[in-house]
Amino acid sequence: MTTDKKSLPPLDSIEGTVLRYAHGMRRYALLPTSVVAVLAIAVCSVIAGLAGAIAAVLGSVVIIGGGMLVLFVMRKTAAQPPMTVLAAAMGTYIAKFVLLLVFGFVFKKTPLFDAKLFAYSVLATLVVWTVGEVIGFRKTKVLTVITGATGPKS
């Protein structure tokens, strides 16, 4: 799923803009979040043994998988009108949080893993992923207003 900047569509299109943003957001979010996930697994396994390690692995996988899903949806809908891209991205964000909430309620009392350590690992990886996406969005030098795009005539 590596994307070379040379293979992206030109910047004078909505598709090129969305793909560049998705590329930048993934670039700045994935590596730091992976490092935090490994640290969370190590710390949680020291604190609670196998139950802590399982909690940290599940929490990290849920957040990294959800973040990659959002970026995947952005890439797949990039050729669509901007409102469709926005609706798809926001829909996957909402679905990610609803699934996380359902996961938390279903496995709240399970003996398989420590629910508090799961929550802490989710929180840590979510904060790092979100900060990485924001940094990636800011560092991607793309004009927000595309002057050459054709839209509905009034």
Cβ neighbours of 78 (radius 10 Å): 23
**Identity of residue 14:** I
pLDDT at 150: 60
- Average model confidence (pLDDT) across the chain: 82
Grade residue 144 by pLDDT with cuts at 50, 70 and 90. Answer: low
* Cβ–Cβ < 8 Å for 78, 19: yes
Grade residue 128 by pLDDT with cuts at 50, 70 and 90. Answer: very high
Q: What angle is formed at CA 38 by the lines to CA 127 and CA 122, rounded to 5 degrees?
A: 35
> Does pTM top 0.85 for this prediction?
no
Q: Count Cβ atoms within 10 A of the Cβ of residue 137 and give its class: 0-12 exposed, 13-18 middle, 19 or more buried.
A: middle
Q: What is the residue whose two structure tokens read 């992976």? A: 34
Grade residue 1 by pLDDT with cuts at 50, 70 and 90. Answer: very low
Predicted confidence (pLDDT) per residue in 6-58, tens digit: 565 555 667 777 777 777 788 888 899 999 999 999 999 999 999 899 999 99
Sequence-separated (6 or more) residues with CB below 8 Å from residue 51: 111, 112, 113, 114, 117
Q: How far apart are CA 139 and CA 153, in angstroms?
A: 33
And the tokens for 140? 């991607």
Q: How far apart are CA 40 and CA 61, in angstroms?
A: 12
pLDDT at 110: 83
Q: How far apart are CA 50 and CA 122, in angstroms?
A: 17
